[in-house]
Every structure is written in C-alpha cells, then in structure tokens.
Chain A
Amino acid sequence: MNTRFWLVVLFSLFSSLGGTPLAFAQEAAMPVRERFFNLGGGYTLPKFIDKSFSELRYQGHAASAVGGFQFRKPAHLHHLDFRFDYGEMTTAAGFAVVDYFRFEGNYAYQRLIRSLWQGRIQWYAGGSLNTLWTLWIYNNYTNNAYDNSVYGSLSPHTSLFYHFTLFNRTFRAGFSAYLPLLTLAMRPTYGASSFAGFLDDERDDTFRQLLESSQLTSLNKFFRYSNTFSLEYPLKNANRLRLSYEWNILRYSEPRVVKAASHNITIATMFNF
C-alpha cells in the first residue's frame, strides 16, 4: 500500500475526529433511554477499480435504502444498521456498463468513555461487526461477468455526539467511524469469477466451501475505513429525522488489487418505540 494512501487515511481520520468536537457549543442534553427503528433512502456515488476484472475505473450513481435499530442509553449504545445500494456504473473510456449492487450490515456496541468539553460532547467507543457484499455485473462480459465479494470484519468503532438547541429544538449531531482490524474476505478466485471453494460443482459441503473461499486478513492486505456524519432533527412523538453522510473506502489486495469507495447521503425517519 503506498504512502499516499496512508496519508489520506490519517488525514481523513484526524480531520473527522478533529472537526466534530468543535461543534455547536451550545447546550448538552442527553436523553436517558431511547429506542429507534430507522427507515430511509438516499443517494450513493460509488466508484471502484478491480484489477481482477478490468484496468478501468468505474464510477456511477446508485439509489440507497437504509434501515436499522438503535438502542441508546447514557452509558452504552447498540446500533444495527443496514444499507442497500443499486445503480449503474460506467467508465470514462469505452462503452462499458456495470450493474452495481451493494449490501452492508453493521452491528456496533459502544460504551461511554467520557464526556468532553464540560459535558457537551459524549465520546463512545467499542467494537462493531461489519458485513459487506458487493456485486458488480459487467454487461459486456460473458463467462466472468459476475464480480462478487463478501467481507466480514471486526472493527474498533468510535462515536462522538453533541446535543444542541436551535430554533427551540434539541438537535443531535454525530460522528462515527470504524476501521476493520480483522476481516474474513471472499473474492473471486484468480482465474474465474467463482469463489475458490465453489469451482467444483459436485461438492455440497457448503460450510467447508465457504471456509476454503475465505481468507482471514488484516490491515496488511485489507483496509477499510468508514466515517459518518449525522444530524438528527426531533419530530413529534419523539420520532426524528436523520440526515447522514457516509464516506467509505476499501482496498484489498487479493487475488489482485480491488479498490472501492462510496459517498452516500441518506435521509431517514427514526421511529421511536
């Protein structure tokens, strides 16, 4: 992985962490206990290069659907979030088109580490389980049109929240980020678009096949970073509107380098229950 790549990652991390605590120095207000069911939609700007399939960089547009549950107490948070993207991608050269599918599911558990800035900001940290499935279908290809990848990761996860009042409403601004340290990755095998364990169609020991198709990997080969900025606006009945922006980048070097990134903006309703 080159130096530039790491510089960008460090810059992103520090600028993200540095930006949020400076936020909205007004008043702190932390509800005692909250439970939400989220549902929403949005827009994604995805891009990728997969050297196992093409020399070209693909970029496009996708629609997003998001959902999830959030359980919040002052001392800890449970977040379960899902996002599905579907769109179409093209390249600057040629007439190539790729159908883009992406599904992401994250479960995060975080505990309150400390209150900062005279209690105005709550800093949580913990861990998360992150799953990501991407499917890129190359419309101009025949036998290797399907580029399927699955990643399951364990990550340290951190969040910062700040409650402030504006227009007589208590808003909640948030920042969260995770960086997978240990990942089970499944990518197409070197010479085909199938997973290695599934080349032999006579086999039906699915669990072993999945294991053989997977590689346990860490930062030396697999790097992924995600950060999310969010703003929650209170509605009646304790429901909320949530506007969020997520930047997500991934780099994996097996069997050849694949890089993917997405910028995603969503608006969701958080139903209190």
Chain B
Amino acid sequence: MNFKKLSVCLMLALPLFMSCEEAIFREEYENTAEDIFESLWTTVDENYTFFDAKDIDWDAVYTANRPRIENGMRSDSLFEVLSDMLAVLRDGHVNLQAGFDLSRYWEWYLDYPQNFDFSLVERNYLGDDYQITGPFYNRMIDSVGYVYYKSFENKVSGSLIDYIVSLYSSRVSGDNDTTIVKGLILDVRDNGGGSVKNAETIASRFAQEKKLVQYWQYKDGPGHNDLTKPIPKYIEPGGDRQYQGLVVVLANRSCYSATNFFVQIMKSLGNNVVIMGDSTGGGGGLPINRELPNGWIYRFSSTVTKTVAGENIEFGIAPDIRVDMKEEDQARGKDTLIEAALRLIKESYDRSRRQ
C-alpha cells in the first residue's frame, strides 16, 4: 500500500470514529415533554433532602402530574405542570427557570407579618449622614451601634467587618477621649440570603472561642434518607478583635437561606447575642443547580443542616425575644424592633455598670 492509499484509509477512519462516538454520547433523555418530566422527577427524587422531614409522598406527586404531560404540549403548559410539581416541596430554595418565567415558593414569608419597613428606618433612624461601609449601612443611635445588612450576596471582606467591630466598640483614644458604645444592633431583616461564607466571616467577629454550631449532611445515594454522617461545623474567632458588648440581631420571616444560617450561628454563640423579632423564614439546605433536557435550569436543596441539639434549620430559627411591629409605632415613625433592641442594650449596659 502506498502513501496515498494509507492517507485515504486514515481519512476514512477518522469520520467513522467520530460518528460512532456520536452514538456513545447520545443523551439519556430527549428534549420532549415526557422526558423532561421524567428527568425532573427522577433527579429531585434522588437528590432532594427534605422528603421525610416535610412528609412528602413524591411517588404520589408523580402519579398526580404524569397524566398532565404529553409530548408536543406548549412550553408554558409544561412549565406550569413542572412548577406545580415542585411547589409541593414547599421550599424557597426550589426554582425552575425558563426564559419566560421563574417558578418559586415564597409562602415562607408571604403568610407572615413583614415586621420591617426600610423607608421608616432610613428616614427615622439612619437619617442622611449614615456610613455606607461596603454592604453595611451603619451609624450610632444613642450610644448604640446600628448596622443594616441587606443581602448576604454582597461580599464581606475581613477588613470591612473588622472596621465595623472596631467602630462600634467602646474605646479610649490617644488623647484620653473615651467613646462609650453600649452595644450593637445587627439588622438582617428582609435579607434573603446569599453566601454562607459571608455569614461565617461576620459571625467569627462575635465568637469568643471556637464553638460547634451546626452539623451538615450531604446526599450520598439515591434513597430519600441516603445522607452522609453529620459533619460538624465550627465558628472560630476571626479578625483583629472580637466584639465584647451585647449584640442584638433583628430578624423577620424574610430572613432566608444564608441569613437563616447566620441567625442560627449567632444564636449558638451564647450570652452576648440575642435574636429579636420573628422567626426566620428557613432555608436550611444548600441549593444546587441542574439542567433539564430542554435547557431549563432548576435548583433544589441538597443538604441538611441541623443545630447542635439536632433541630433541622430548614423550618427557620425562633427568636430569643419575640417582637412584632406595632401599627401605632409605625404611625409615629418608630420601628418597634429597633426600639426594643435599644431598650434591651441600654438596660443591660446600665445593669453591668451597677454590678
């Protein structure tokens, strides 16, 4: 065989390799309504972590919704069926995202009082000369530090939170000018979450010692209860200094996901931290993303987080002191929760001065 013949052989062989490879790479599910439904149901069945905790019969969900699916149905009709199916999970971390809509479950806060009005806080507490330190809106109110943190998606660097801790700590400056700060209000109301890393960074400035705060479990098999052994999560003191005064964390039902984690971690830290307001909305599973055969993206909870006492934080964190916004306070331009926090901090400070 000469050079030309061999070249022809090789050139013919290469397309054959590639065409056979196409057969190997055939996708398991086609881009049809029935396959999309099967893919979604199966993936959630094998990966979602709260079926038993929420007493959900996922097989019954299949039986109820499968007859609603037929190949060739309109995209918006398919989206509606899939959204209905996912709504059964009652989970704010579950979304289906198509180009034209986003399915969601928001009853974790819509069914409860809001207990927060940022406009009221801005006009009557922050004023027009508050500091904007990265993601933190902050100022001193009657010798108490007030910090509002709107979203855990906004990155918190160590130096930023160190600055906040330093700013609202009592101190004596070089010329013996003493600044008294009686305590700190950390307001995370309406904070829908973001990065758990931010929650850990902030909480580390309030931890006086290394402390076990949570247990995490990951899925390790397709069964509903196939979970890893609980993995302990600790918070260690971090940064330049730890905040020594009393900290009141203000929470409402719109505190979700990373904010839920943050409130739970802060609650675990002990005597110097008080959680005030309403229960958080929950969201105790780390959400992960997947794709359907038609390219739609969805997400769902893939982990379980429990407190040291074994409580599942998916259902929210109860406050130490329950306080709801009063209409009469709102009418007077007062935020009931901030007022209660200011009172608590001042009383605590005065008590400690007397002892």
A residues at B contact (CB < 8 Å): 4-5, 7-8, 11-12, 15-16, 19, 22-26, 47, 49, 51, 53-57, 91, 93-96, 138, 140-145, 164, 166, 189-193, 196, 199-200, 202, 229, 245, 247, 249, 251, 259, 261, 263
B240, chain A: closest CB distance, angstroms: 23
Find chain B residues with CB under 8 A from A12 CB: 17, 20
Given A95-B295, A192-B303, A54-B24 contact (CB < 8 Å): no
Given A8-B20, A191-B218, A192-B218, A23-B288 contact (CB < 8 Å): no
B294 close to A (CB within 8 Å): yes
Whether B28 lies near A4 (C-beta < 8 A) is no
Whether B293 lies near A191 (C-beta < 8 A) is no
Whether A249 lies near B24 (C-beta < 8 A) is yes
Whether A93 lies near B295 (C-beta < 8 A) is yes
Whether B289 lies near A142 (C-beta < 8 A) is yes
* A-B pairs, 3 with minimum CB distance: A94-B295, A191-B219, A93-B295
- Measured CA separation A15–B14 after assembly (Å): 10
B194, chain A: closest CB distance, angstroms: 10
Q: How large is the interface on B (under 10, 10 to 19, 20 to 34, 35 or more residues)?
A: 35 or more
Q: What are 27 of the A-B contact pairs (CB < 8 Å)?
A: A4-B23, A11-B16, A16-B13, A19-B9, A23-B1, A24-B2, A25-B2, A26-B3, A53-B291, A55-B27, A55-B29, A55-B292, A57-B25, A93-B31, A93-B293, A94-B294, A95-B295, A144-B302, A189-B228, A191-B47, A191-B49, A191-B302, A191-B303, A192-B286, A192-B288, A249-B24, A259-B24
Whether B17 lies near A199 (C-beta < 8 A) is no
Determine the residue in chain B with the shortest Cβ distance to A94: B295
B232 close to A (CB within 8 Å): yes
- Measured CA separation A51–B14 after assembly (Å): 27
A21, chain B: closest CB distance, angstroms: 9
B220 close to A (CB within 8 Å): yes
If over half of A's interface residues share one DSSP class (helix, strand or loop), that class is named, otherwise mixed; here it is loop
The 0/1 profile, CB within 8 Å of A marked 1, for residues 32-50 of chain B is 0000000100010001010
Find chain A residues with CB under 8 A from B221 CB: 190
- Measured CA separation A202–B211 after assembly (Å): 12
B39, chain A: closest CB distance, angstroms: 5
Most-contacted residue by chain B among A4, A5, A15, A191 (CB, 10 A): A191
- Measured CA separation A183–B51 after assembly (Å): 36
Find chain A residues with CB under 8 A from B28 CB: 51, 55
Find chain B residues with CB under 8 A from A144 CB: 288-289, 302
Given A8-B24, A22-B6, A144-B288, A55-B47 contact (CB < 8 Å): no
Determine the residue in chain A with the shortest Cβ distance to B3: A24
B21 close to A (CB within 8 Å): yes
- Measured CA separation A93–B292 after assembly (Å): 9
A225, chain B: closest CB distance, angstroms: 11
Determine the residue in chain B with the shortest Cβ distance to A257: B28
**A-B interface pairs (CB < 8 A), number:** 138
Find chain B residues with CB under 8 A from A229 CB: 10
Find chain B residues with CB under 8 A from A8 CB: 20-21, 23-24
B271, chain A: closest CB distance, angstroms: 25
- Measured CA separation A27–B294 after assembly (Å): 56
B231 close to A (CB within 8 Å): yes
B146, chain A: closest CB distance, angstroms: 31
B236, chain A: closest CB distance, angstroms: 10
B31, chain A: closest CB distance, angstroms: 6
- Measured CA separation A144–B288 after assembly (Å): 6
Find chain A residues with CB under 8 A from B18 CB: 263
Find chain B residues with CB under 8 A from A140 CB: 289, 291, 297
Whether B218 lies near A189 (C-beta < 8 A) is yes
Find chain B residues with CB under 8 A from A55 CB: 27-29, 39, 43, 290-293
Find chain B residues with CB under 8 A from A53 CB: 290-291
B296 close to A (CB within 8 Å): yes
Whether B25 lies near A56 (C-beta < 8 A) is no
Determine the residue in chain A with the shortest Cβ distance to B1: A22
Find chain A residues with CB under 8 A from B20 CB: 7-8, 11-12
Find chain B residues with CB under 8 A from A47 CB: 21, 25
Find chain B residues with CB under 8 A from A25 CB: 1-2
B112 close to A (CB within 8 Å): no
